[in-house]
Amino acid sequence: MAGTVEDHLSWYLSPIFDWLLSQWTWLFHEEAYAWPEKSGSPAAVAAFSALGRYIASEDEVLSATYREVQGWWRRHALRAADPSAVYPDVCMRRLDDDIEISWGGRQPSFAPDGFALMISPGFAILPVEAVATPLWQFLEWGTSTGEGANPRDLEMIGALQVRLRQLKKTPLRELELVHIDARLHGLFEKLRDSHQLDRVELRVKDVPAIAAFDPAVLMFGGLNPDIGVKDAQSLTNFLAKHQRGAESESLRKLVSNDVRVSAMEAYYEGYELAYEVRARLGIDASHTCVNIRGLLHALGVHIEEVALETDSVRGVAVAGQGFGSAILINTSSVYNKTEDGRRFTLAHELCHVLFDRTRARRLSHVSGPWTAPRVEKRANAFAAMFMASTTAIRKLLVTTDAEHVRRLAKTFQMGFSALIEHLYNVDLISDADRERLRMAVD
């Protein structure tokens, strides 16, 4: 206390306990960033970069965004518990049915002379239970065994005990509302009964955390909060139609739950996965025209084309435990105005079906601007390489003339713009070639 001499240190763990109790539901259920984020970087990197981008802006909109970024950082960054402490630069957030723990290399702001945290930036993806359970046990241990050195400490520990008991009683709906917009949550809950949509959700034992979200929560959590009632009905109907279905054996053999978040670049990982799937399907590396619709039909993946009112949804994929595999193409999306565009979307969604299932081995994924950038970038790269392998392109690419590249796009049944970016990404055209070809886009 200021102005007095104390013969002890007050309870030094209290900031961590206070922060964990205050931010618990956000740490384990909030996935979306509070700002436009296209990098696909782990939270420790993305949040720090966003703080730097928006700080001290004279623009009112950017200043408001900075406050949103700062609020998100306070909910997810360990250093928010006590900025003066020597905590590592660690962030935690939800990632589908996992927890992403990421850390940067920044040193504490008020570290003693000669003190340094020897840690390189990185991240880990863990099951919710593997993170929530030990942290909950830490809270229980601290609040039950903490011995205050003075009346203020005892009062503080008692208050923490009360908060812990209250947190444990957090209702399911309150946990879900951290992951999904309240309006959307109310909308799909009304639609659930009318569509006889099953609720499939798994909570962590004796801990206020959801281990596996309900498929509808995952799907609606990836939507624009302003989506209309009619579109919500269409998507709920799509989900309900394919529940309790089964997958073909040929599809199951291609599915991998081992691919989550890799350290390699998203586009490179997408290319590698496309090569792998082509090989396992017996598609020759030099093959120039992949019949994606026929392939999906052979794998037992149902295809639906629906004109949603929104153009923000490119496609939707459902698959896995308790579902028949299906892809919805939104014909209102600018990406799906042509047959070539729709074929590309089908290949994009195939990547999600094969490699983006949750730990519950289910998928209910919406492709659009509200979903994880890294996952979408990887699926785009997968689609490009699956439809047009580097080997096949090299065999046919004679010149970078615009008309020749247009003919190549027709050969591979891809959009002209998509092929331009693909050629650039696989180092078959230069920066100058790409800009010149972009200028030739209609």
Amino acid at 174: E
Give residue 99's pLDDT. Answer: 96
Give residue 340's pLDDT. Answer: 95
- The sheet that has 122-127: what strands, in order across it? 90-95, 98-103, 122-127
Q: What is the 8-class DSSP label of residue 280?
A: H
Give residue 34's pLDDT. Answer: 92
Pairwise CA distance, residues 199 & 194, whole Å? 13
Kindly give the residue spans of alpha helices, DSSP state H, lying in 82-125: none
pTM of the model: 0.89
Give residue 5's pLDDT. Answer: 57
3-state secondary structure of 221: helix
Give residue 198's pLDDT. Answer: 82
**Phi-psi group of 24: left, alpha or beta (phi > 0 → left; psi -120 to 50 → alpha; rest → beta):** alpha
- 93: β partners: 100
Intervals of the chain under pLDDT 50: 1, 8-9
Q: Scanning the structure block, which residue is given the tokens 């990406």?
A: 335
Give residue 131's pLDDT. Answer: 98
Pairwise CA distance, residues 231 & 368, whole Å? 14
Give residue 235's pLDDT. Answer: 94
